[in-house]
Amino acid sequence: MFAHGDSAMAPDDLVLVISNAPDLLLAKRIAHVLVEEGLAACVNLGAAGLSMYMWAGRLEGGEEIPLTMKTTRARVHELVSRLRQLHPDEVPEILVLPVLGGLASYVDWVRERTALA
C-alpha cells in the first residue's frame, strides 16, 4: 500500500522519489526500467554510502547506492509499485517528496517524459 500526504496536489505537479539499491548493477537496472517505461523522467544514482539501521532487533549496515527519481504526482503510484517489484528488500526505503518549484523548462520536460500515454 502506498501512503501519501497532500491530496491537494495537481496530477502534473512534480515529485521526487528517494530510494536506494544494494549495489550499482541493480541501481542501473532500476534506473533503466523506470526511465524506459516512462515512470521517471530521470533517475540520479549517487555514490555508494554506508547505511546504518535497526532491523529485527539488530544493528545492520551496508553500502547502498542512493536513487533520486523525478516524476509527476500522476505517475508516482505506478513508479512506487514498479520499484517495489524491482527492489530486493522486504521494506525498501521509498519516500515521495513534493517539488515546490523549479526551472520551468525542466519542469515541462519532466511532465513531457512522464505523460500518460
- CATH code of 29's domain: 3.30.70.120
* 55 in any annotated domain: yes
The CB density around residue 52, as the number of other CB atoms within 10 Å, is 8
Task: Identify the helix (H) or strand (E) that includes residue 31.
Answer: helix 24-36
Reported pTM:
0.90
User: Which tens digit of pLDDT belongs to each residue from 47-91?
Assistant: 999 999 999 999 999 999 999 999 999 999 999 999 999 999 999
* Domains held by the chain: number: 1
User: Which tens digit of pLDDT belongs to each residue from 28-42?
Assistant: 999 999 999 999 999
* 4 in any annotated domain: no
* 46 in any annotated domain: yes
* 53 in any annotated domain: yes
* 32 in any annotated domain: yes
Dig out the grid coordinates for 79 from the structure. Answer: 513508479
Torsion, Cα 75 79 81 87, to 10 degrees, reads: -170
Distance of CA 28 to the CA centre of its chain: 13
Domain residue limits at 44: 14-113
* 8 in any annotated domain: no
* 7 in any annotated domain: no
* 105 in any annotated domain: yes
